[in-house]
Structure 1
Amino acid sequence: MLTRLFKTQLIQLQLVPVFGYTELREHYMKMDEDIKNVILVGCGGMVDLESFLSNDDDDDPINRSVYILDTHRPWNLDNIFGSENIICFDDNTIDDELQNEKSAYQKLSQLLEEEDDEEEEDEEEKDEEEEDDEEEETEREEGDDNEEAISSSNDENSNSKTEDLGIEKDEGDQGEDESDPKLRKRSNKNDSGKTKKRKKMKGIIHQLEKTIQKYYTQGTTISNSLSVQIYSLVSLLGETDMDYLWLTIIGATSLDNTYPQVYNKLFPLLEDESKRLVTNTSAEMTKTPDTVKINIEQDYYLYLLRYSTLYNSFFYSNYVNAKLGLWNENGKRKLHKMFARMGISLIEAQKHWLYMNNDIKKELGNIFRNNLDIYGLQDIIRDAFIKIAGYRSSISAFEFVEGINALLEVGDSSGDVSSNANRDKTVDNDYLPIDEVLEKRSKQWISNFWESWDALDARDHMKLQNGINRAKLLQAIVFNTGVTILEKKLIKNLRIYRLCVLQDGPDLESYRNPLTLLRLGNWLLDCCAEGSDDRSLLPLVLAALDTTTDTYLCAGMAPKYPRGLALERTEPTLNNFSVAFQLVATEINAKVKIDNFESSILEIRRDDLSPFLEKLTLSGLL
């Protein structure tokens, strides 16, 4: 959306994909000095960029404007209140929700400056006093030398004169050389006043720091869809059309699985905008093979229905799987009975959607309403955005997102994503140095990014089709791993979170990618939320062994609500692992790498995982 907008405005740009903070800083440091504007999309909002992007040899680190488009929260307060060169695009959360933090931040900055100034003054006073003491000591030594010289020659005369005048020598008279007691008392009084003032200032500083610390430790979340923010910018410039709207819908839909509250809040806004654009363009639109139309139609929580069979779309749906427990034989029997109850034969259900009986397809919604309540699947029907491109088949936004995500995970030219192909690659990697392995992965991820980028182009249907095919294979891999986890009871219900550690299995190498690990985590969380008798909302720690680097990729995921309850909630669930992971790793001095923009994902050395998890359990941070 942004690149298209810049091109229409004849603005030159370079797009650089980055996959972590290390790459972000490296690319920034290599940037040409002539580039004066940098836009960070989907990253940067949660770290102090002015410090992070600084050159150690440069007192003025930011010599260009850096714009942040990032919906990860919490904001780093230094970015929004403490820098003139960092410009943050906000979605009204700053004005609506951060006034207390803004006041605390500004007051704290002021007090810390005053404290620094006082410390500098004290240092200067101390230096002056030391200089005065040195001068007095020098004068005193010179006076003593003169006094000795005089007294040695006139000692007898002075004694006789003193006796003649009847004056007795008093040691107290020597006190006239010392400082005045009144001055000394006044000085002590001033010092006491300074001490009280500093104690009071430190108390205020402590309270302000607690306010800010509470804000940072509340947990992380996503506040909005980034694509919706960009669409607002496009609207201000009068550039809106169906292509912009579809990309906006894709971005918002991608949040539904993990942040359904955000998607549900945005759906009515996107629905209104879709109707507005259709109304404005329908009068002048003549249907052609390239005509693009966006409808709001009845859809279902089924997996890639238009690109699969009805049976498989039920079988691989996270929602249906969690409700019926399809990982065991009893769940499969329920599924078969359900089809019989709906009057759909298994032979018909296993036909590809394109070749399925049209009468069944047209009546599917009514069939579901009349039969699925008994199986607890009453929430299976939903509305969705459907893109219709000319005379070709339609695609829902949810299906489009699945195809794009799969290309991000495994790419288009990476061959088969089955376990055998991955295992062959692993054998090769086992004999490579770790640096070469990591470099190879980084190049693959960049390639995957451009594959998914190309698939966003409405004219390149084959890219998206390949992504959807890979999505089906990935979902099957996740399903098989999930079944193994549940059958072997690898999920441990600890006091404050659930834990699952993967150390072997035919598809273990698939979970070296954070996106695939999160895909599995969401599958497990859905099972915990929908399918088990224990509905306690516990978060999940999921770790998978990477034998090539001798580390675990570890993800901390917030708990999920059952789909029915999730639809009623308005606030997104906070993820507390971001802060907890960092604090625990620091406390036990574990060798970890927290480089992902999702700060609840880390890599940890194999030997450090057990003490890390033990400390996390006892930390009280969750």
Structure 2
Amino acid sequence: MHISNLKNEFYQPLIGNKILLLVHYDVDAVCACKILQYLFRSDHISYTLVPVRGVEELKYAFLSFCKEVKYVLFVNCGGTIDLIDTLEPENSIVFFVLDAHRPTDVCNVYSPDQVKLLVPRSDDEKIPHPSEIFRDESDEDDDDDDESGDEGDRQDRRRQKAEEAMRKRREKRQWEENRNHVLFSYTQYSYYGRSSAVVMYELAWRMSKDTNDLLWLAIVGATEQMLLAKVDYQRYVLETGFLQSHVQRLSHHSDNQSNEDDVGNILTGVKITFGKDLQLALYRHWTVEASLRYSRYSATKLRLWTLRGESKVQELLAEIGLPLVQSRQKFTSMNMILRKEFPESMEKLGEKYNMDRIMTATFFLQYGYRGRFCAFDFVYGVLALLESRAKDKSLSTCFMEALDSLSRSNKHVLEDGIEKCKTILVSIFKQVQSLLEMRQVISAGPFLYLVLQEGTLDVQLYSSPLCLGLLAQFALEAYVGSSRSKKAASQPLIASAPLDPEKGTCLLLGIPPVADESSNNFFGKAFEQAGERISARMNMDYFDTSIIQLKTEDRPKFLDALTSLLL
């Protein structure tokens, strides 16, 4: 059931109760969780926080803590599965679902009391009417046979009942066929709704508890959706309009004032501004040359995996008037005049070098004299902390580090994440360069695919959906930019990498074509049907249905089945 008044129908019932907070491993969910922590702390609401990656972890976490709580809050998880059927909760437990994944499971939508969705119902979702998917089976045929009357009357009544039963079976079969068609149309594409961090910020605003810190968290959550291609650019522009209005409103309160961070430390005034910035990853924290080389946008537009692309970079830097010595030292150490002129110079030359959208709208955070960050920097830093796996570090530890990095008092944690992200971006570029040189991005007809084999350099990095997704986006854009095929831009891509060599499993995900303006992804339903065709040993445990786990030895047959299905 959708609820519209979050303050009265969601937040007020939580006060005085202990909450189980289940949060997905993504940047938007981490930002939404940080806002919730601030709100819970202000009203002394106790909670248990458990990060989850998939359905099995969600079930385990719920079973571990369900006896201690009355309310369970899901952040970017739970909305796409039938929660009542999956978790089998007691009738007294209430589920609040804040999930950007779409489409929402229809059983959650029409649950009268136990499942409450923290987003207003949208016409864009095209949720089926309940009569199309739920049928009242209480009216059964009356089997009592009236034996009164002569033999002819009894035969007539039996014939009429047989005809009536046949008619009902025919109607039921037609209704089930229509139901399957309606559900297929509804679940055919997976996509993302509004950022969960933005929804939670709006709740804080309506309760008059919003601050610049919370607004910045909402901005980071919305930026992550655009940066990882979860939503199309037009949706991002509309969201930035909403966020910009709050930036202007709060700026009047924060000028020349000191603020407390979320743990009570007095810090200098926080200032958020809206403007344009270069689509160059982490260039303020890196060198200009490295950022140009390893950013997806500039690398694919200049084709930097080729010798001609290398010469174009040198030509571009020369035309800007940026000496190589300056371009190869940290941006903050560059000549001040060159540093200030660099964004404007890049924008002027963007069209000449096929980078007409090198500038994009974004937000900036300024506190103190040296603490200036772009929203993209925060996304990259938090994402890298979520992915900073090591033998002595658990996934939950990575999650908590990512959560801590969003506090201004822990700026060093974010900076550590930014340094780790540089390593990830370098690895992705080198991997894409190798894939193109070895011609390992292969066309299967209706789609492209790439497979990272065990033993590939840094292959363990891509056992995560986040990093494999970044690689897939980079590889698809690079392939389209270098391919002579006219249909390359209209082909989606499937990427696969080893997941657990000991168990013989791999990770497999699909992304939409470059030419597709919509972010809708049809691979979730396609994967399900292809798996059923060959009885593949696969696990659809992720909340995004376009990501699956598969037995490595089943992968060739699975791709063949997918090809025949999509032709």
Query: How high is the TM-score relative to the length of structure 1?
Result: 0.79
- Corresponding residue SS for 1:31: helix
What is the correspondence of 1:411-422 to structure 2 with a 5 Å cutoff?
Answer: 411=389, 414=390
Give the superposition deviation at 1:214.
1.4
Paired with 2:133 and 2:56, the residues of 1 have a C-alpha distance of 30
CA distance in 1, matches of 2:396, 2:325: 42
Deviations 1:26-59 (A, max 9, x none): 11112242410000100111111110102xxxxx
**Alpha-carbon separation, structure 1, partners of 2:154 and 2:232:** 71
Q: What is the match of residue 492 of structure 2? A: 539
Matches within 5 A, 1:27-46: 27-46=61-80
Alignment map for 1:88-237 (pairs within 5 Å)? 88-93=117-122, 96-97=123-124, 101-103=127-129, 105-109=130-134, 112-114=135-137, 116-118=138-140, 121-122=142-143, 125=144, 179-217=150-188, 219-237=189-207
Aligned residue in 2 for 1:397 = 375
Distance 1:486 1:62 in 2: 55
* Counterpart in the other structure of 2:219: 249
**Structure 1 counterpart of 2:533:** 587
What is the deviation of 1:25? 0.5
Q: SS of 2:362's equivalent?
A: strand
- Whether the 8 Å contact between 1:296 and 1:385 is mirrored in structure 2 is yes
Between the aligned partners of 1:251 and 1:286, the Cα distance in structure 2 is: 22
**What's the RMSD between the two structures over aligned residues?**
2.4
Output the CA distance in 2 between the equivalents of 1:474 and 1:26: 31
- Tell me: CA distance 1:260–1:528, structure 2 relative to 1, closer, same or farther (3 Å): farther
CA distance in 1, matches of 2:124, 2:350: 42
Are 1:505 and 2:456 an aligned pair? yes
CA distance in structure 1 between the partners assigned to 2:456 and 2:217 by the alignment: 37
In the alignment, which residue of structure 2 is the partner of 1:137? none
Q: What one-letter code is carried by the residue in structure 2 that aligns with 1:53?
A: L
C-alpha separation between the residues in 2 aligned to 1:542 and 1:107? Answer: 36
Unaligned runs of 5+ residues in structure 2 are 1-34, 261-265
- Choose between structure 1 and 2: higher strand proportion: 2
User: Distance between the aligned counterparts of 1:83 and 1:178, measured in 2?
Assistant: 48
Instruction: Give the SS at the match of 1:254.
Output: helix
2:100 maps to which of 56, 61, 71: 71
State the alpha-carbon separation in 1 of the partners of residues 351 and 538 from structure 2: 47
Q: Is the 8 A contact 2:489 2:514 kept in 1?
A: no
2:349 is matched with which residue: 368, 371, 375? 371
Cα deviation for residue 191 of structure 1 reads 3.0
Is 1:598 matched with 2:544?
yes
For structure 1, the residue ranges without an aligned partner over 5 or more in a row are 55-59, 133-176, 415-424, 426-439
- State how far apart, in whole Å, the 1-side matches of 2:420 and 2:124 are: 41
Q: Which has the higher helix share?
A: 1
- Does 2:263 correspond to 1:263? no
Q: SS of the residue aligned with 2:489?
A: coil
Distance (Å, rounded) in 2 between the aligned partners of 1:480 and 1:274: 39
Q: Which amino acid aligns with 1:335?
A: V
Shift in alpha-carbon separation, 1:531–1:8, aligned structure 2, 3 A: farther
2:320 to 330, 342, 355: 342
Matched, 1:18 2:43: no
Corresponding residue SS for 1:68: strand
Quick check: 2:254–2:269 contact (8 Å CA) kept in 1?
no
Q: Give the SS at the match of 1:296.
A: strand
Change (3 A) 1:16 1:269: same
* Aligned residues with identical type, % of pairs: 26
Do the aligned partners of 1:408 and 1:452 also contact (CA within 8 Å) in 2?
Answer: yes
Deviation at 1:205, TM superposition (A): 4.1
Give the counterpart letter for 2:170 in structure 1.
K
Per-residue CA deviation, residues 534-556 of structure 1 (Å, 9 max, x unaligned), is 45221111111343332221111
User: Is 1:615 aligned with 2:564?
Assistant: no
Q: What CA distance in whole angstroms lies between the structure 2 residues aligned with 1:529 and 1:279?
A: 46
Deviation at 1:222, TM superposition (A): 0.5
What is the number of equivalent residue pairs in this alignment? 521
CA distance in 2, matches of 1:263, 1:236: 22
- Which residue is 2:22 aligned to? none
The 2-side partners of 1:611 and 1:554 are apart by 14
Which has the larger Rg? Answer: 1
Taking a change above 3 Å as real, the CA distance of residues 108 and 42 of structure 1, as seen in their structure-2 partners, is closer
Distance 1:25 1:269 in 2: 36
- Cα distance between partner residues in 2 of 1:245 and 1:303: 22
SS across alignment from 1:524:
helix
- The structure-2 alpha-carbon separation of the partners of 1:286 and 1:70, relative to structure 1 and needing over 3 Å to count, comes to closer
> Aligned to 1:472, what secondary structure does the other structure show?
helix
CA contact (8 A) 1:50 1:61 kept: no
Counterpart residue number, 2:250:
277
Measured in 2, the distance between the counterparts of 1:71 and 1:507 equals 31
Please say which of residues 315-324 and 523-532 is displaced more in the overlay: 523-532
Say if 1:194 and 1:596 are closer, same or farther in 2 by CA, change over 3 A: closer
Name the amino acid aligned to 1:540: L
3-state SS of the aligned residue for 1:374? coil
Could you tell me how far 1:198 is from its partner in structure 2?
Answer: 3.9
Deviations 1:302-333 (A, max 9, x none): 11011011111111110010011101211101
Evaluate the alpha carbon distance shift between residue 500 and residue 62 of structure 1 in structure 2; reply closer, same or farther with a 3 A threshold. farther
